[in-house]
Amino acid sequence: MPRKNEEKIATEKNRWLQKTVRPGLNELPERLPAFTTVSNLAIDDPLSTPADVVDLEYGKDLGFPGEYPYTRGIYPTMYRSRLWTIREFAGYGTAEQTNRRFTYLLKKGTTGLSVAFDLPTLMGYDSDHPLAEGEVGRCGVAVDSLWDMESLFKGIPLDRITTSMTINAPAAVLFAMYIALARKRKIPLSQLGGTIQNDILKEYIAQKEWIYPPKPSLRLITDTIAYCVTHLPKWHPISISGYHIREAGSSAVQELAFTLVDGLTYVDACIRAGMKIDEFAGRLSFFFNSHNDFFEEIAKFRAARRIWAREIRKRYRPKDAQSVQMRFHTQTAGCSLTAQQPHSNIVRTTIQALAAVLGGTQSLHTNSMDETLSLPTERAVTIALRTQQIIAHESGVANSIDPLGGSYFVEALTNRIENEVYAYFKKIDDLGGMVEAIGQGYPQREIAQSARWYQQAVENKEKIVVGMNEFTETEEPIEVLKIGPEVEKQQVRALRERKKTRNRKRWEASLNKLKQAAASDENLMPFLIEAVTAYATVGEICGVLKEVFGEYKEPALF
C-alpha cells in the first residue's frame, strides 16, 4: 500500500475515533496479562482498516488454503470435501455403561469416539486402591484392565471408527490395551485410527495428573511415538494439549505459547531418541480450547498453524510437507459454562464451536449444557451433538474455505497473537526450555496470575457472565446424571474376581520383563502390550514403573 494512502487512512481513522469514544471502553485496566478474553482486544483499537495489515505478505503470511504457511488451513478443500470429525467426549461408571453411551452417540450421528477416564485411571490406580475410594467411575469410565477395554468397545468396529483417549501419565498403558484388543479381534494395526493424548508437560503446567518425573515420562512418550511410526501409521500418538492450560485460567496467548513450546520439546525428544523429523512429525496432533471471545479464538487457531509450520521448517528442515502441517482437535470451553441458568450454556457452546470451525479445526467436541453440574445426560449430549450438526449442515459456513481470511481485524489479530506468542518463546528459551521453566514454576505462575485477574474482573463486573453476575434470574433445576456408590462396588467386585482367573505365571513373567526393560533403553511398548495381554492392571503396571522411574514431586511454588 502506498505510504500516502496509509497516512490518509490513519488520519481518517483518528478523526472517526474522536466521535466513537464510549466511557470505559477506551480505558484499559492498569495491568493486562497478554490476551485474556477479559481484555476484549477490540477495546484499544475498535476499528480495523487496511493500515492494520499493511505489512501482511500474502505468500509469506497467508497463501492459499493447503499451502505453506497454512494460515488459511492445511487442506485446499477444507470442509467442502470432508467435514471435521464430530466427537462427543464420553465416559462414566463402568465400561458397560459407557459402551451403551458410545452406541447411543454413534446412532445419533457422531463420527468418532472420545473416551473420558475416571480419576483413579488417570492417576494410574486400580479401582480397589484406597486412594480410588469415592472416585471410581465419577468423572469418567473406570478402566482397570484389558477386560474393561474389551467391554468398553464391545460391538464397535475399531477399524472403521477413530478413537480419541484423553489420558496422559498412564497413556502408554491404555494405548497398549487398545492395541491388544485390536490384536484379539485380528484387526491389522495399520487400520487403527485415532489419537491418545499422551501429553505430560501440560500436566506439570496445569492439570496436575502426573505419576513419574519428566525424564522417564518423556521416554514413555517417545516410545509410543516410535512404536506408531513402525506399526500404526494412521494413529496420532500424542495430542499436545492447550485445552487444560486454558481451563486452568490461562489467556489465549499463554495457551498457544505454552502448547507450542511443549510440542517443540516433544519433537526435540524424538530427534534425540533417533527418529527423523519426517518419520513422525506428520502424526503429531494438537488439542485446543475454544473460549468465548469469538474472533480471538479464530485468530489463535490461524496463528497456531502459521507459527508451527514456520518453526518446524526453520528448526528441522523436513522434506515432507505434512511434517509442518498442524492438525488439531478442539473442545469448547468447559470453564466458561455456568451452573446458573445451564440452558445458556447451549448458546455459549454454539458460539465457541462456530469459532473452532471458522478457525479450521479437524475435529470438535461440544460441551453439554449440564457439565458444571454432572456428567452429561443423554438429552444434554444430544443437544451438544445437534449443535455441531446444525453448524455443519445448515449454517453454510462449511461451504467457504477460511471465510474470514482477509478481514482487517482477523488478520491484524492473528499477527498480534503471533507476536505475543514469540515473546513467550523468548522468555522460555531464556529459562533453558520448557522442562526447566516448569521446574522454576514460570508457566504455572503466569497462568495463576491470568486466572486471578479474570476472577477479579468477574467479581467486579468488569467482565459480565450472563446468569452469574448479571441477568441472574433463577431457572428451574434440570435433570442430572448421578453416579451412585453401587458403581464402585460393582467395579471393585468384578476386578477382584477377574484377577483370580489370570494365568499367574504369565502375569508375573510379563511384569518382570517390563521392569527389566524399564531399567534399560528398550522401547517399552512391546512389554506393555505383553503385560496387558496377560491382564496385568493399570495399577500393577504403573506400580512396577514407579519402582524404576520414581514419582514426581512438584516443587513449592509461590
* Res. 26 pLDDT band, cuts 50 70 90: very low
On the question of pLDDT at 313 being above 50, the answer is yes
> What is the per-residue pLDDT for 14?
74
Burial code of 492-531, b = ≥16 C-beta within 10 A, e = fewer? Answer: bebbeebbeebeeeebeebbebbbebbeeeebbbbbbbbb
Q: Are 180 and 532 in contact (CB under 8 A)?
A: yes
For the residues 447-464, what does the mean pLDDT come to? 94
On the question of pLDDT at 330 being above 80, the answer is yes
User: Which of 261, 181, 170, 178 is closest to 446 using CA atoms?
Assistant: 261
On the question of pLDDT at 31 being above 90, the answer is no
Q: Are 100 and 381 in contact (CB under 8 A)?
A: no
> What is the per-residue pLDDT for 52?
85
> pLDDT digit string (tens) for 244-261?
999 999 999 999 999 999
> pLDDT digit string (tens) for 166-198?
999 999 999 999 999 999 999 999 999 999 999
> What is the per-residue pLDDT for 208?
95
Q: How many CB atoms lie within 10 A of CB 17?
A: 13
**Could you give the CA distance from residue 22 to residue 183 in angstroms, rounded to a whole number?**
65
> What is the per-residue pLDDT for 20?
59
For the residues 106-128, what does the mean pLDDT come to? 97
Residue % of the chain over a pLDDT of 90: 87
Nine cell digits for residue 331: 473442545
* Res. 40 pLDDT band, cuts 50 70 90: very low
**Residues near 247 by beta carbon (within 8 Å), at least 6 away in sequence:** 206, 207, 289, 333, 334, 335
* Res. 270 pLDDT band, cuts 50 70 90: very high
Q: Are 279 and 229 in contact (CB under 8 A)?
A: yes
187 or 45, greater pLDDT? 187
On the question of pLDDT at 129 being above 50, the answer is yes
- CA distances 322 to 70, 253, 285, 399, 475, Å, are 11, 25, 12, 24, 49
> What is the per-residue pLDDT for 1?
45
> What is the per-residue pLDDT for 470?
95
> What is the per-residue pLDDT for 364?
97
**Could you give the CA distance from residue 482 to residue 138 in angstroms, rounded to a whole number?**
9
Residue % of the chain over a pLDDT of 70: 94
**Could you give the CA distance from residue 534 to residue 173 in angstroms, rounded to a whole number?**
13
* Res. 4 pLDDT band, cuts 50 70 90: low
* Res. 50 pLDDT band, cuts 50 70 90: confident
Peptide bond into 65 cis (omega under 30): no
* Res. 54 pLDDT band, cuts 50 70 90: confident
For the residues 22-44, what does the mean pLDDT come to? 45
On the question of pLDDT at 399 being above 50, the answer is yes
> What is the per-residue pLDDT for 63?
86
Q: CA-based angle 89:191:142, to the nearest 5?
A: 35
* Res. 39 pLDDT band, cuts 50 70 90: very low
Domains and CATH numbers, the chain: 58-459 (3.20.20.240)
> What is the per-residue pLDDT for 9?
75
* Res. 7 pLDDT band, cuts 50 70 90: confident
On the question of pLDDT at 90 being above 60, the answer is yes
User: Which of 384, 318, 308, 317 is closest to 345 using CA atoms?
Assistant: 384
Indicate the pTM of the whole model.
Answer: 0.94
On the question of pLDDT at 42 being above 60, the answer is no
**Could you give the CA distance from residue 10 to residue 368 in angstroms, rounded to a whole number?**
45
**Pairing label, strands 284-290, 328-332:** parallel
* Res. 44 pLDDT band, cuts 50 70 90: low
> pLDDT digit string (tens) for 331-377?
999 999 999 999 999 999 999 999 999 999 999 999 999 999 999 99
**Residues near 76 by beta carbon (within 8 Å), at least 6 away in sequence:** 64, 65, 66, 67, 401
